[in-house]
Amino acid sequence: MIIKRPPDIKASEITDKSLYLRRREFLRDTALAGLAVAGLGASARAVAGTGEKLGNVKKSLLSSPGEELTPYEDITTYNNFYEFGTNKEDPAANSGKFKPQPWNVRVGGECNKPGSYALEDFIKPHALEERIYRMRCVEAWSMVIPWVGIPLGDVLKRFEPNGNAKYVAFTTVMRPNEMPGQRRAVLEWPYVEGLRMDEAMHPLTILSIGLYGEVLPNQNGAPLRLVVPWKYGFKGIKSIVKVEFTSRQPPTAWNISNSREYGFYSNVNPQVDHPRWSQGKERRIGEFLKRKTLMFNGYADQVASLYAGMDLQKNY
């Protein structure tokens, strides 16, 4: 739910304040009640998360401190994951049948050590870190999420990308029996995304396997998703089953669907409006008023050098 106020919309469309203030209580009570209702176990567990704690997690100095975290119930019940439906509530409601274990990731392309790896082998050599990152969605809403994950660059180095590897591409699992959104031609399935190698190797880029110290819920991309905090949220591909090093810029799902609105880079840039709305401001979930959107989502000091000399109006 995105709460709007004038001059964004007509007064008749404004969410009543009393309903807004009751929203979190309603979400909490609904989730708890669902757990107690026979026959709704799988769906309710998806809303509430598995509750499985992740051990040996260290706090990362690369976090963005000093901001209030978005509540767990908001992160897990209001998100985009079109494989489970196009409404923000659909992923939590429709992901209960999804099975994130066992899981394998296939690595290939321009590297010296391709292969198929069980998730445990894929992430095992690396220490888990908690990183508090801002997430900015292209629809002009945002969150602050305590992700648990590992630096993507550390993982990619293991496969020894060769001199031809200029980009890295990712692919989401294709399971229409478990992911009802894939039964509709909303996007070209499976979902694909990609990064330039220097973006992928940047210390801020992580592969997440959890949030709030728990195993990643189905609706948030279990068991493995990409997090690139200076880019719009749709770059954070979920439920990854394939990683491929490429010499050419790989296709990406939203760019294939609508290249005029969604570019390859998708960096958070308040100076470049989406064709249908401004990107200059955002509404943090749980807040009533909008706030100014920061260049590169507030990570400009760390990542602006990656794009030195580039036209960020053209390379959006």
Task: Establish if 40 belongs to a structural domain.
Answer: no
Number of folded domains that form the chain? 1
β-pairing verdict for 128-136 and 57-59: parallel
Determine the pLDDT at residue 275.
87
For residue 199, give the amino acid letter: E
Task: Establish if 39 belongs to a structural domain.
Answer: no
Task: Establish if 15 belongs to a structural domain.
Answer: no
What is the three-class DSSP state of 290?
coil
Give CA–CA dist 197/62, Å, rounded. Answer: 20
From the list 233, 231, 296, 202, the residue with the least C-alpha distance to 91 is 233
From the list 71, 90, 72, the residue with the least C-alpha distance to 80 is 90
Do residues 143 and 68 touch, judged by C-beta distance below 8 A? no
Q: Distance between alpha carbon 177 and the CA centroid of its chain, in Å?
A: 22
Task: Establish if 77 belongs to a structural domain.
Answer: yes
For residue 186, give the amino acid letter: V
Determine the pLDDT at residue 48.
45
Give CA–CA dist 277/185, Å, rounded. Answer: 25
Task: Establish if 216 belongs to a structural domain.
Answer: yes
Give CA–CA dist 133/151, Å, rounded. Answer: 13
Radius of gyration of the chain (CA): 19
Domain span holding position 92: 53-303
Give CA–CA dist 264/262, Å, rounded. Answer: 7
Task: Establish if 198 belongs to a structural domain.
Answer: yes
Determine the pLDDT at residue 49.
60
Determine the pLDDT at residue 69.
97
What is the three-class DSSP state of 144?
strand
For residue 63, give the amino acid letter: S
| Average pLDDT by stretches of 10, the chain with 316 residues | 40 38 40 32 43 92 90 97 98 98 98 96 89 96 98 96 98 98 97 98 98 98 98 98 98 96 96 90 95 97 97 92
Task: Establish if 48 belongs to a structural domain.
Answer: no
Determine the pLDDT at residue 64.
84
Q: What angle do CA 124, 136, 306 make, to 5 degrees?
A: 70
Give CA–CA dist 304/267, Å, rounded. Answer: 10
The 8-class DSSP code of residue 274 comes to B
Task: Establish if 32 belongs to a structural domain.
Answer: no
Q: What would the pLDDT profile of 160-203 be if each residue is shown by its tens digit?
A: 999 999 999 999 999 999 999 999 999 999 999 999 999 999 99
Give CA–CA dist 153/257, Å, rounded. Answer: 28
Q: What is the CATH number of the domain that holds 149?
A: 3.90.420.10
Q: Distance between alpha carbon 62 and the CA centroid of its chain, in Å?
A: 18
From the list 44, 81, 62, the residue with the least C-alpha distance to 190 is 81
Determine the pLDDT at residue 277.
86
